[in-house]
Amino acid sequence: PADLHETLAQQRKRFEARISRLQQQVLSLKEALQRRETSEPPRGGHMQAHSPLAQQLRTTLRESASPDERAAQLHRTATALAAENEALREALAGRDRELARERSERARLEEALAMAHSANGGANGAPGDTAAGGWSEGSARHRPQRGMA
């Protein structure tokens, strides 16, 4: 039971770290998506300088001889940006699904940890009420892990 408890505690720590990383990725993707949706190109038709499509558009606008060529290039660029935007939305949805799976796995591990804790009689300073994701005083988090002392 002690090894099981330690293994579950280590798994929980790894899953919590991964969930945290995924949450940060989701937030950064959402911020990028929001910036892309809310940003309007400044005067002169220039878009964000870091976008390869924006650079291509600026070059084409400078080099295009006729309004028809500029309009055609604008249409191609708008189509490419729409496709890129859709790909970002799909990636974000995938991250959201992955995050939901991770949360589900975390809940399952917390339940298994709570069951192991109750089967162990609550000794050894095991985590307390894991339903809220909390830790009791003297929990496993405060004890040195194998190889980390």
Q: Please report the DSSP string for 41-96 in residue order.
A: PPTTT---TT-HHHHHHHHHHHH--SHHHHHHHHHHHHHHHHHHHHHHHHHHHHHH
Out of 23-37, 81-95, 130-144, pick the least confident: 130-144
**Would the pLDDT of 4 be above 50?**
yes
Residue 47 has a pLDDT of 45
Span 26-44, pLDDT tens digits? 888 888 877 877 765 544 4
Residue 61 has a pLDDT of 60
Residue 73 has a pLDDT of 76
Say if 76 falls within a structural domain.
no
| Burial of 65 (C-beta count, 10 Å sphere; 0-12/13-18/19+) | exposed
Say if 9 falls within a structural domain.
yes
Torsion of CA 50, 30, 110, 129, to 10 degrees: 120
Between CA 5 and CA 139 the distance in angstroms is 11
Q: What's the total number of domains in the chain?
A: 1
Q: Which domain holds residue 103?
A: 2-48+92-142
Confidence of residue 132 (pLDDT cuts 50, 70, 90): very low
Between CA 7 and CA 100 the distance in angstroms is 23
Say if 86 falls within a structural domain.
no
Residue 49 has a pLDDT of 53
**Residues 6 or more apart in contact with residue 98 via CB below 8 angstroms:** 22
pTM (predicted TM-score)? 0.37
Say if 66 falls within a structural domain.
no
Say if 114 falls within a structural domain.
yes
Say if 43 falls within a structural domain.
yes
Say if 22 falls within a structural domain.
yes
Say if 79 falls within a structural domain.
no
Residue 50 has a pLDDT of 59
